[in-house]
């Protein structure tokens, strides 16, 4: 669901393209200056031109609507919403598409379009308040516009060197947690590059820490600005900029932009690694690959698979937070080692088969003990370091289904951790 980068730039900076757009058209001279300077600051050359154009709000809305259409069919959105409502991520009157469209339309100041390989700027500048807006008036520079443009052009650099994801995973073979972790790296890298451009050079450790502190306010800012938007959307968006910048900051503080480039070439496997950077940079904890089995008789009985995906630690936090205090929810989700969720539909009925793996039996026990508070109607069964969750809106023989799933599922052995030298000082040495 991470399609536009303009949202959080507007939230943290109160920004629009400012002087980068004049009378509804791109200020080519100002944009060219950023294009010339950014490669030296970010340490990456442009391999191809990146055209920039200004769009009126109506055209931006249409572009974002097409992006949603290209990512999700109406049936896909319906299946996803059904599962999200069952998990408690959406209320009965909330829809994913209206929430996404509203949050992007109201804040879109500019974005890089990886499908068209172009930069889009809003032809009508948004308000320019916040700390960069104030500094702009003092310095006589459009720091807000420079930040926005350098951030988005960094996405163009990423696209030209490593490629940006544009093709969604199939609904029946989703890897959403891994994709979200990749987006967090991309946004964290681009956010740091935007600050580097405004500052005139790579930020040092103290400046990186200051940037991270500023971004820690984003979840609260977003909740205050969009209280009716589903928490799952707000949280996954905030994560990309808040936690993503902290994650990329580990690499930048350790070895500058070459270290960030190395991570871009070998991105994180899970939101767990982004939430706990030491689990990538020190001892890399790779998620277990779970292959669900034992569900074939369901299809013979008329149940149709509608979705299969990995939720990951971040979405587990959100799920647990609906029933538990935030600190307790984070503790329940910590220790995640992998999961796989498969959804089936039959008429209006829904069945979820969800296998989770944990770092230890104790952490699996903690998750299993919390599940009755999170999903009271679910059948929960733990075996060693794995927990199976079954939930159905129909009266089914869940005992027999659980036995089949346990017997046929390959939960994967815990992969060998990749040992790394600690990347930098104890400021970041937090699990």
Q: Is the pLDDT of residue 401 over 60?
A: yes
Q: Considering the domain boundaries, does residue 370 fall inside one?
A: yes
34-57 mean pLDDT: 96
Q: How many folded domains does the chain comprise?
A: 2
Q: Indicate if 179 and 307 belong to the same structural domain.
A: no
Distance CA 37, CA 46 (A): 11
Q: Considering the domain boundaries, does residue 431 fall inside one?
A: no
Distance CA 155, CA 102 (A): 23
Pick the closest to residue 151 from 301, 17, 338, 321 (CA basis): 17
Q: Indicate if 73 and 187 belong to the same structural domain.
A: yes
Cβ count near 143 (within 10 Å): 25
Q: Considering the domain boundaries, does residue 340 fall inside one?
A: yes
The pLDDT-based confidence of 412 (bands split at 50, 70, 90) is confident
The pLDDT-based confidence of 414 (bands split at 50, 70, 90) is low
Contact (CB, 8 A) for 73 and 80 = no
Q: Indicate if 71 and 156 belong to the same structural domain.
A: yes
Q: Indicate if 301 and 268 belong to the same structural domain.
A: no
Q: Indicate if 29 and 108 belong to the same structural domain.
A: yes
pTM: predicted TM-score of the whole model, two decimal places: 0.90
CA 81, 85, 88, 94 dihedral sign is positive
Q: Indicate if 242 and 343 belong to the same structural domain.
A: no
Q: Indicate if 174 and 50 belong to the same structural domain.
A: yes
Distance CA 346, CA 220 (A): 39
Average pLDDT of the chain, as a whole number: 88
Here the tokens at position 408 are 């046929």
Q: Indicate if 210 and 324 belong to the same structural domain.
A: no
Here the tokens at position 240 are 């990309």
User: Which residues make beta-bridge pairs with 77?
Assistant: none
Contact (CB, 8 A) for 183 and 244 = yes
Q: Indicate if 153 and 206 belong to the same structural domain.
A: yes
What is the extent of the structural domain holding 148? 6-281
State which of 223, 255, 281 marks the end of a domain: 281
Q: Indicate if 81 and 28 belong to the same structural domain.
A: yes
Q: What is the pLDDT of residues 213-257, one digit of tens each?
A: 999 999 999 999 999 999 999 999 999 999 999 999 999 999 999
Q: Considering the domain boundaries, does residue 23 fall inside one?
A: yes
Contact (CB, 8 A) for 342 and 296 = no
**Residue 137 buriedness (CB in 10 A; 0-12 / 13-18 / 19+):** exposed
Q: Considering the domain boundaries, does residue 159 fall inside one?
A: yes
Q: Indicate if 197 and 120 belong to the same structural domain.
A: yes
Q: Indicate if 239 and 306 belong to the same structural domain.
A: no
């Amino acid at each position: 669901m991470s399609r536009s980068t303009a949202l959080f730039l507007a939230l943290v900076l109160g920004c629009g393209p400012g002087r980068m757009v004049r009378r509804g058209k791109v200020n080519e001279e100002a944009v060219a200056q950023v294009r010339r300077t950014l490669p030296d600051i970010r340490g990456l050359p442009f391999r191809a031109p990146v055209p920039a154009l200004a769009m009126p709000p109506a055209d931006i809305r249409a572009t974002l609507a097409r992006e949603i259409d290209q990512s999700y069919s109406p049936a896909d959105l319906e299946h996803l919403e059904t599962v999200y409502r069952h998990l408690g991520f959406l209320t009965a009157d909330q829809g994913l598409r209206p929430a996404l469209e509203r949050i992007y339309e109201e804040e879109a100041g500019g974005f890089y379009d990886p499908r068209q390989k172009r930069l889009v700027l809003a032809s009508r500048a948004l308000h320019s308040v916040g700390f960069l807006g104030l500094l702009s008036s003092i310095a006589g520079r459009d720091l807000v516009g420079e930040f926005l443009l350098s951030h988005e052009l960094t996405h163009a650099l990423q696209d030209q060197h490593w490629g940006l994801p544009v093709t969604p995973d199939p609904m029946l073979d989703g890897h959403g947690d891994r994709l979200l972790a990749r987006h967090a790296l991309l946004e964290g890298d681009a956010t740091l590059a935007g600050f580097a451009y405004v500052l005139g050079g790579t930020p040092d450790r103290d400046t990186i820490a200051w940037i991270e502190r500023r971004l820690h306010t984003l979840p609260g800012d977003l909740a205050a600005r969009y209280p009716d938007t589903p928490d799952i959307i707000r949280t996954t968006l905030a994560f990309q900029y808040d936690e993503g910048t902290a994650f990329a900051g580990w690499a930048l503080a350790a070895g500058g932009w070459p270290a960030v480039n190395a991570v871009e070439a070998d991105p994180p496997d899970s939101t767990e690694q982004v939430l706990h950077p030491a689990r990538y940079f020190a001892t890399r904890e790779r998620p277990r690959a779970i292959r669900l089995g034992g569900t074939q008789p369901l299809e013979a009985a008329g149940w149709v698979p509608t979705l299969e995906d990995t939720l990951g630690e971040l979405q587990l936090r959100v799920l647990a937070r609906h029933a538990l205090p935030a600190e307790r929810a984070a503790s329940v989700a910590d220790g995640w080692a992998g999961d796989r969720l498969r959804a089936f539909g039959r008429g209006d009925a829904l069945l979820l088969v969800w296998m989770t793996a944990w770092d230890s039996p104790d952490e699996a026990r903690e998750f299993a003990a919390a599940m009755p508070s999170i999903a009271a109607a679910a059948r929960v069964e733990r075996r060693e370091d794995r927990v199976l969750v079954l939930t159905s809106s129909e009266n089914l023989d869940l005992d027999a289904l659980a036995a089949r799933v346990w017997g046929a599922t390959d939960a994967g052995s815990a992969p060998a951790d990749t040992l790394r030298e600690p990347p930098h000082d104890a400021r970041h040495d937090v699990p």
